[in-house]
Amino acid sequence: MPSKTVKTTTAALTLAFSLLASQPAFAETAADVTRDGTSDSSQAFTFAAIGDIPYGAAEIAKFPSRIQDLNADKDLKFVAHVGDIKNGSSVCSDEYFSYIRTQFDTFSHPLVYTPGDNEWVDCHRTNNGAYNPLERLDKLREVFFNEPGKTLGATMPVKSQESLGLPEDVRFDKNRVAFSVLNVQGSNNSLLPWTGLGKTAPTEEQLAEVEHRTEAVIAQIRQTFADARRSKDRAVVLMQQADMFDPSLLEAATANPDTVSGFRGIVQTIVEETNSFDAPVYLINGDSHVFAENQPLAAGSPWLDIYGSPAADNLQRITVDGAGNAVDYVRFTVAGNSAKGADILSWEKVPFSS
């Protein structure tokens, strides 16, 4: 696939369906939730994505200036943080959550945030405070999603899964591009044992949470594509924390596909929907910390056997830089309504100023 260093342009589950059927209709609070009806509806727009930031004391100190760099990019319609607001070896404290929320409130653009595993899934670790991860997830929702249906930073209305207890799962539409933000976690989607609490296997409450959240994610993916087909959208953009195609996991997953079993139903749903959608599909994730742009489920990919999936050549994945590599953000440009196919979405890495 053509690639440039800086800029590139590119080409289960019955219950999930019952969730779709039973889920109440989302309130529409602004025209741009489902269709941009403003004068710029046929114009291009940009948005930014970051993730796995801030990691450690030095990056925490720089985080306010990173936000100001994003605020200075005046043309952005919104910013997405795809999870991990801390590293994996620091305490998951209420005070830290409050500090990050205070920083998030300084965004002048709408901020769409989906939690990462470092701020709840992995908080059982002794050096994280030996928390019950589900209690930390509840606290995250209290701190960061206290106004379901609204973004952080500047207000942008979104459709939320609050009715299912997942206010962090949101959808919105801009200029005939459907966006869907999903709580999909690293650590095998939160199936790894809570060893910091002395567990050697997933607990019943842990498994129940994973099941419910995964069913809700699959339901939202299906609803996103159903709405996109009905509205004749030009593209679908999915965003989440987990890198379900992390190169560092490939060898282990090839030897034992169960190491990524928590993603299997989600991947298979994305494949089904992508292959029945006559337009590009993009997946933006963090988690693995190294910028990547590829088609992880193209014909011949080793991930096809791992997930037991047919190919999905129309799926393009972008991983944002994170952790020690979080020296830039990715600016995406959505072309005007006349653009179709691979010309709809392009992206470039933009260095932070310091």
Strands ordered across the beta sheet of 328-334: 7-9, 345-351, 328-334, 45-50, 76-81, 110-113, 152-153
Q: Looking at residue 42, what is its pLDDT?
A: 61
**Does the pTM exceed 0.85?**
yes
Q: What is the average pLDDT across 202-223? A: 98
For the stretch 89-100, pLDDT in tens is 999 999 999 999
Percent of the chain with pLDDT over 90: 86
**CB of 235 closer than 8 Å to CB of 30:** no
Q: What is the average pLDDT across 51-73? A: 97
Which strand (E) or helix (H) includes residue 3?
none
Q: Say whether pLDDT at 1 is over 90.
A: no
4 band by pLDDT with thresholds 50, 70 and 90: very low
For the stretch 43-56, pLDDT in tens is 899 999 999 999 99
Q: Say whether pLDDT at 199 is over 50.
A: yes
Q: Say whether pLDDT at 2 is over 70.
A: no
281 band by pLDDT with thresholds 50, 70 and 90: very high
Q: What is the C-alpha to C-alpha distance for residues 194 and 202, in angstroms, rounded to an integer?
A: 7
Q: Say whether pLDDT at 154 is over 50.
A: yes
Tell me if residue 347 falls in helix, strand or coil: strand
**CB of 331 closer than 8 Å to CB of 73:** yes
Pick left, alpha or beta for residue 323 (phi over 0 → left; psi -120 to 50 → alpha; otherwise beta): left
